[in-house]
Chain A
Amino acid sequence: MKTLEIPTFECETGNYHTFCPISCVAWLYQKIEDSFFSVVGTKTRGYFLQNALGVMIFAEPRYAMAESEEGDISAQLNDQKELERICLQIKSDRNPSVIIWIGTCTTEIIKMDLEGIAPKLEKQLGIPIVVARANGLDHAFTQGEDTASAAMTHRCPEYIYRTTDQRGEDVVKHVVTDVAPNKKFFDEKGKLNRCNSVLFGSLPSSVASQLNLESRRQSVSVSGWLPSQKYTELPALGEGVYVCGVNPFLSRTATAPMRRRKCRLVGAPFPIGPDGTRAWIEKICSVFDVKPDGLEERENQIWKNLSDYLEIITGKSVFFMGDNLLEISLARFLIRCGMVVYEVGIPYMDRRYQAAELLLLQHTCEKMKKPTPRIVEKPDNYSQVQRMHELQPDLAITGMAHANPLEARDIDTKWSVEFTFAQIHGSVNARDALELVTRPLRRRSDFISGCRSLSRQTVDV
């Protein structure tokens, strides 16, 4: 495999800071409008959610803890009866179209059979119950979404080749009249587009429709998204459907439709940054045998629009401590912007799912004549801070636990979680992504230059 050319993969101790994967409920409950997320676990989980989500918790969220008590742990209480009682309460209060149980470390350790109980209760209550094991034993932060989406692929309706295909073409024709200036060109391509493509990854609906538009410009229609805006509108999957990911942390979701639903996976770089978006579209086009049109001009135009930001960051160095798996794509984008990346920490590296992205990273390094960064899987935060002390990067992209201490030691930081919540996909949002990256560099001023370090610890680590 080509990825082997990337020389430095390292694996450290895994003593790093990241969010618990149950945090995925924060964006998923907002994405899937008719859902209710119930996190089954102990107080620790609830406390994390409550603090991590800050203000959101006060807005009557469609999620809650099913908080295990001592009786649950020691099996004095019957799991099924307890869950039934809680789901009934949820049903009467909120009446969702689906209840999603998020299994945590607690349910893993006491081996609560959520997958076994769910179908029984589902039948009894008449509400679909999806089980996602998003626990900190196996997963990090964004991988929580991966488990939830993977679980949902099993609930997608069966794709029936004829009818859906028809509808797909209709959509294309509809777009043709609306958007395309060159009618003839699109009509031809519309006919070529025989197969269905489903994109997976939870994005805000505006970003999703931007990506839809990007691919429609090339006359490839997107027939659906996983997850969809509503649980009742999950896309059809089956033989003849091509699936393609928009986020680098969705490796389980990528394999589930392939192995279980006979879909075909389009392995592309991820649409982050104008370069990524172009490579992503090109790959999709190549699968559908469509010749991409006007992509290069479009990319150049976007880069031109970014010139003010590029000026700020060109030549600057950046260090990714790693916590949300977006790191490879972001590093690739930033190298293309002219930055030097010292290290890419990443919780978990799926070399097969990210193969195209890794390849693009390598090409980008060659093209920009920049060294290939070392990629550190399961990083060790303590050692990273030591290395950062040596390297003195201009910017550290890191979790909130380290941000303030690093700032006090005169290293500019950007909070990595913001990349998960901000809109960074597609060419249109490249500006937003750079807005985030440049913010700490832009606000750097001279007024405190008198004191180099504001840390109170006398011995600097």
Chain B
Amino acid sequence: MKLAYWMYAGPAHIGTSRVTSSFRNVHAITHAPLGDDYFNVMRSTSERERDFTPVTASVVDRHVLARGSQEKVINNISRKDEEQHPDLIVLTPTCTSSILQEDLQNFVDRASSSSESDVIPADVNYHRVNELQAADRTLEQITRFYLDRARKQSTLDRSVTNRPSANIIGIFTLGFHNQHDCRELKRLPGESGIAVNQVIPEGGSLKYLKDLPRAWFNTVPYREVGLMTATFLEKEYGMPYISITPMGISNTADFIAQIGKLVNVWASALSEKRLNYKLYVDNQTKFVSQAAWFSKSIDCQNLAGKEAAIFGDATHAASITKILVKEMGIRVTCSGTYCKHDAERFNEQVRGLCDEVIVTEDHTEVGDTIARIEPSAIFGTQMERHIGKRIDTPCGVISSPVHIQNFPLGYRPFLGYEGTNQIADLIYNSFNLGMEDHSLDVFGGHDTKEVSTKSLSTDRRDINRTPEAESEPSRIPGFVRGRTKKNTEVFAKQNNIPEITIDVMYAAKEKSSS
């Protein structure tokens, strides 16, 4: 057992439900007690979904506990089959069913004999995987199911499309800015003459899944979901895939270079003319994306050397780290992720870009780390935003878990060239603006509020301050106040000074700036 207040990634069945409800006409039946169909609320509120979420619970109550589900699950499946005629019904286990150890496969076998819909059990182990891993697995499972069937029925068309085309894998419901990213992603290869074959699972239809292998290659924009499907398609159907996230200018350029490479291999085989993407990338970088110019502009100079802390899922945290360090000259003191299962790759991605890497699912550890390093800005999830509020540090939200406010109506992609603009805005607006900084420095701040004591690290050492020394920090701009105070205390301690006077404060300042 462990004491927990908050979790970054949800339980497995949420991941499965996210995948099934992203496909068109797929219904999930969760084997769960009353109240565990909370996914419907999340989807209906956060995504402002206007249609009924295709997830129903087959309710586990006392009777089920005593004598097993018996006909209940099967009845629920056939009822759903009759009522809504879904193409596929996915029977989803929850923690409850995994503890009850009911034979879901058996239910599925019996139900599928009588129902018109296809029925499969989601193959996820509640205790072993989290939301993201489960989503990854379920997507692969559904794809495999339909491709295998098509192969058996020999309805599989193995010829590639005439024009170069790509599948986009891993766009789905309740994903962080997924809808906008999807639009941007379709545009990105589209502008360079590559058609989008299919997007799965969002809006995907099962009867077209058999045409997945007709694309020239696959793209997996997010590391968390889609990789399993992509590797499956590579292994079984020889489809190459690109797993670079086109987030930030250099990543996007890499992404397009990869496309170029893949397409040109085929182009020579099909004796078409080779495509050259260098010009496209140049044009986009110079004119469509403002981010490259922005990082050269005077505005961005003020950001140089500022410190930031980053935390989020592996995809976003790694990409944003790269953008901050390489494209904007900001110092990333700490970068971290809660995707423990992907820690190795994350470490590799951010190696050399930041001073410190944390991989944890414990939000207090993240909070304490941030409080210790006192960055000028945080880029994280909603939880880090609240940590930021408590320690008076601005925070930009870059990754799930998120609130309804992170499902904006306006166009806000994180990927592609428009994404670079959005990210630049987000980053720039999170830091205190340049001139504001200066005026605060010069005039000693807007206000005469007391010293901010909001700090997550509560170990106040027993050091006295003279009244003047107490009031002095109020003249220091708010955002460096905490650090100045701490530096002074450390200095006093190191030099065995029992009382902090103004002299001590300035001595400390001299020491730290030398």
- Whether A and B are associated in the same complex: the answer reads yes
Residues of A whose CB lies within 8 Å of any CB of B are 14-15, 17-23, 38, 40, 42-44, 46-48, 50-52, 54, 57-58, 61, 64-70, 72-73, 77, 82-83, 85-86, 89-90, 105-106, 108-110, 135-141, 382, 385, 399-405, 407-408, 454-457, 461
Query: B5 to chain A: closest CB distance in Å?
Result: 5
A57 to B40, CA, bound (A): 20
A401-B44, A404-B45 are known contacts. Are A454 and B36 too (CB-CB below 8 A)? Answer: no
A44-B95, A58-B386, A105-B60 are known contacts. Are A137 and B34 too (CB-CB below 8 A)? Answer: yes
A352 to B255, CA, bound (A): 68
B52 contacts the other chain (CB 8 A): yes
The 8 Å CB contact of B13, one of A22, A44, A402, is: A44
B83-111 interface mask toward A, CB cutoff 8 Å, 1 = contact, 0 = none? Answer: 11000000000111001100000000000
Contact A21 B10 (CB under 8 A): no
Q: Which residue of A lies closest to B95 (CB)?
A: A42
A48 CB contacts on chain B under 8 angstroms? 35-36, 38
Contact B52 A405 (CB under 8 A): yes
Contact B127 A70 (CB under 8 A): yes
B65 contacts the other chain (CB 8 A): yes
Query: B400 to chain A: closest CB distance in Å?
Result: 12
A105 to B30, CA, bound (A): 15
The 8 Å CB contact of B94, one of A44, A51, A141, is: A44
A120 to B392, CA, bound (A): 44
Contact A69 B127 (CB under 8 A): yes
B56 CB contacts on chain A under 8 angstroms? 15, 382
Q: Which residue of A lies closest to B125 (CB)?
A: A70
Contact B3 A64 (CB under 8 A): yes
A44-B11, A106-B99, A137-B60 are known contacts. Are A457 and B1 too (CB-CB below 8 A)? Answer: no
A70 to B126, CA, bound (A): 9
A105-B96, A137-B65, A401-B53 are known contacts. Are A21 and B4 too (CB-CB below 8 A)? Answer: no
A51 to B37, CA, bound (A): 12
Contact A138 B99 (CB under 8 A): no
Contact A399 B41 (CB under 8 A): yes
Contact B403 A73 (CB under 8 A): no
B235 contacts the other chain (CB 8 A): no
Query: A101 to chain B: closest CB distance in Å?
Result: 12
B460 contacts the other chain (CB 8 A): no
Contact A72 B65 (CB under 8 A): no
Question: Apart from A405-B49, A405-B52, what 8 extra A-B contacts exist at CB < 8 Å?
Answer: A18-B34, A20-B36, A46-B7, A106-B99, A109-B99, A136-B33, A404-B44, A461-B84
B398 contacts the other chain (CB 8 A): no
B51 contacts the other chain (CB 8 A): yes
Contact A141 B99 (CB under 8 A): no
Contact B7 A408 (CB under 8 A): no
Contact A140 B35 (CB under 8 A): yes
What number of A-B contacts does a CB cutoff of 8 Å give?
Answer: 160
Contact A137 B1 (CB under 8 A): no
B152 contacts the other chain (CB 8 A): no
A22 to B33, CA, bound (A): 12
The 8 Å CB contact of B1, one of A51, A67, A108, is: A67
Contact A50 B40 (CB under 8 A): no
The 8 Å CB contact of A109, one of B57, B59, B100, is: B100
B48 contacts the other chain (CB 8 A): yes
- Residue pairs across A and B with Cβ atoms less than 8 A apart, 9 shown, are A20-B36, A42-B126, A48-B36, A54-B403, A73-B127, A77-B1, A82-B1, A86-B1, A140-B34
A382 to B61, CA, bound (A): 19
The 8 Å CB contact of B4, one of A20, A65, A407, A454, is: A65
Contact A57 B51 (CB under 8 A): no
The 8 Å CB contact of B50, one of A65, A83, A385, A405, is: A405
A47-B7, A138-B62, A404-B45 are known contacts. Are A105 and B83 too (CB-CB below 8 A)? Answer: no
Query: A90 to chain B: closest CB distance in Å?
Result: 7
Question: 8 Å CB contacts to A: which residues of B41-73?
Answer: 41-42, 44-45, 48-53, 56-57, 59-62, 65
B13 CB contacts on chain A under 8 angstroms? 44
Contact A65 B96 (CB under 8 A): no
B36 CB contacts on chain A under 8 angstroms? 20, 44, 48, 136
Sorted from nearest, which 3 A-B pairs have the closest CB atoms?
A20-B35, A136-B33, A401-B40
Q: Which residue of B lies closest to A57 (CB)?
A: B6
Query: B13 to chain A: closest CB distance in Å?
Result: 7
Q: Which residue of A lies closest to B75 (CB)?
A: A13
Question: 8 Å CB contacts to A: which residues of B464-479?
Answer: none
The 8 Å CB contact of B5, one of A54, A57, A405, is: A57
A90 to B383, CA, bound (A): 21
Contact B33 A135 (CB under 8 A): yes
B207 contacts the other chain (CB 8 A): no
Q: Which residue of B lies closest to A60 (CB)?
A: B5
Q: Which residue of B lies closest to A134 (CB)?
A: B35
B4 CB contacts on chain A under 8 angstroms? 46, 64-65, 67
B127 CB contacts on chain A under 8 angstroms? 69-70, 73
A82 to B1, CA, bound (A): 6
Q: Which residue of A lies closest to B85 (CB)?
A: A459
The 8 Å CB contact of A401, one of B37, B50, B59, B84, is: B37
B3 CB contacts on chain A under 8 angstroms? 38, 64-67, 86, 89-90
Query: B58 to chain A: closest CB distance in Å?
Result: 8
A456 to B5, CA, bound (A): 38
A61 CB contacts on chain B under 8 angstroms? 5
Most chain-B CB neighbours within 10 Å: which of A50, A52, A139? A50
B14 contacts the other chain (CB 8 A): yes
B59 CB contacts on chain A under 8 angstroms? 14-15
Most chain-A CB neighbours within 10 Å: which of B13, B32, B34, B128? B34
B461 CB contacts on chain A under 8 angstroms? none
Contact B51 A456 (CB under 8 A): yes
A58 to B10, CA, bound (A): 17
A206 to B277, CA, bound (A): 68
B2 contacts the other chain (CB 8 A): yes
Contact A137 B33 (CB under 8 A): yes
Query: B18 to chain A: closest CB distance in Å?
Result: 13
Contact B1 A66 (CB under 8 A): yes
A20-B34, A105-B96 are known contacts. Are A51 and B42 too (CB-CB below 8 A)? Answer: yes
A40 CB contacts on chain B under 8 angstroms? 1
